[in-house]
Amino acid sequence: MNYWPLLGIALVVIGFVLRLNPALVVVVAGIATGLLAGITPTDVLALIGESFTKQRYLALFLLTLPAIGLLERHGLKERAQQWIARLRGATAGRALTAYLGGRQLLSALGLVDLGGHAQTVRPLMAPMAVGAAENSHGALPEATRERIKAMTAASENVGRFFGEDVFIAFGAVLLMQGFFAEHGIVLEPLHIALWGIPTAICAFLIHTSRLLRMDAQLAREAAALQASAEREPAP
């Protein structure tokens, strides 16, 4: 047995440890694996091209990135922050709660691609959440800004993961139906999806509480920074 192709896994691990570009690491590791397996360079490129055309959602994702980058270059983030700053009473937690609820609802209807980290979280929701926090508490430390961005990404994950389980045509629902059918338990996809609703509601409530706690923590940190600044003697 030829174990040399396993070096491709080592290349992936090393690349991720060094925090290199993930797409570049995966492509280089794939090419190296093919060459070590005895496949000719032409066949390796043909295999990569064939996989690329079959996975059309990946092609769509790669085409989305330049469009988002162009919008960011022309001030998309700044516009999002200005818009959220005009809303009275808007906080990072409240904005993310609204996004969480909308994301769950759309995912439950099967519209899972109307959001995402690349399309929505990074260019829109993260700047809006940070802008809402800064509008309420002033300039924030970089660590706090990164924490808000992380909670934005978590809101996307929770909203999509628990929302799509309610959609009857979701792959996981059909997989569960097939699993039960193999063991003599007949269930309709609708029944499985309906039982996903209580879980989705619990996930919404739990994550909403985390977002509201984040708002409270931001308020305490801002008050502590202001008190510390007031105690410092004037030069």
Distances (CA, A) of 88 to 20, 83, 95, 178: 41, 11, 12, 49
**Better-predicted residue by pLDDT, 183 or 34:** 34
Given a cut of 70, is residue 80 above it in pLDDT? no
Position 202 scores a pLDDT of 95
Q: For position 64, what pLDDT does the model report?
A: 61
Does residue 196 or residue 74 have the better pLDDT? 196
Residue 22 confidence class, pLDDT cut points 50, 70, 90: confident
In this prediction, residues 61-80 reach a mean pLDDT of 64
pLDDT band per the 50, 70, 90 thresholds, residue 159: very high
CA-angle at 18, arms to 122 and 40, nearest 5°: 100
Reported confidence tier of residue 232, pLDDT bands at 50, 70, 90: low
- φ/ψ of 234, rounded to 5, equals -70, 140
pTM: predicted TM-score of the whole model, two decimal places: 0.66
Instruction: Please answer whether residues 200 and 162 qualify as being in contact, where contact means their C-beta atoms are separated by less than 8 angstroms.
Output: yes
pLDDT of residue 233: 62
Q: What is the pLDDT of residue 68?
A: 62
CB 114 within 8 A of CB 106: yes
pLDDT over 70 (residue 69): no
Structure tokens at 111: 């519209």
pLDDT, residue 58, reads 54
Q: Which region among 2-11, 79-88, 105-114 has the lowest average model confidence (pLDDT)?
A: 79-88
Smallest Cα–Cα separation from 33: which of 57, 8, 64? 8
Quote the pLDDT of residue 155: 95
Average pLDDT, the chain: 82
Mean pLDDT, residues 130-155 = 90
What would the two tokens of residue 165 be?
């389980």
3-state secondary structure the chain: CCCHHHHHHHHHHHHHHCCCCHHHHHHHHHHHHHHHCCCCHHHHHHHHHHHHHHCHHHHHHHHHHHHHHHHHHCCHHHHHHHHHHCCCCCCHHHHHHHHHHHHHHHHHCCCCCCCCHHHHHHHHHHHHHHHHHHHHHCCCCHHHHHHHHHHHHHHHHHHHHHHHCCCCCCHHHHHHHHHHHHCCCCCCHHHHHHHHHHHHHHHHHHHHHHHHHHHHHHHHHHHHHHHHHHHCCCC
pLDDT(37) > 70: yes
pLDDT of residue 234: 55
Helix (H, G, I), strand (E, B) or coil at 38: coil
Q: Any idea what the Cα angle at residue 20 is, between residues 15 and 24, rounded to 5°?
A: 85
Does pLDDT of 106 surpass 70?
Answer: yes
Task: State what percent of residues in the chain have pLDDT above 90.
Answer: 24
Measure the N-to-C terminal CA separation of the chain; round to a whole number of Å.
Answer: 74
52 contacts: CB under 8 Å, gap ≥ 6: 58, 59
User: Which is more confidently placed, 3 or 215?
Assistant: 215
Average pLDDT over residues 207-235: 83
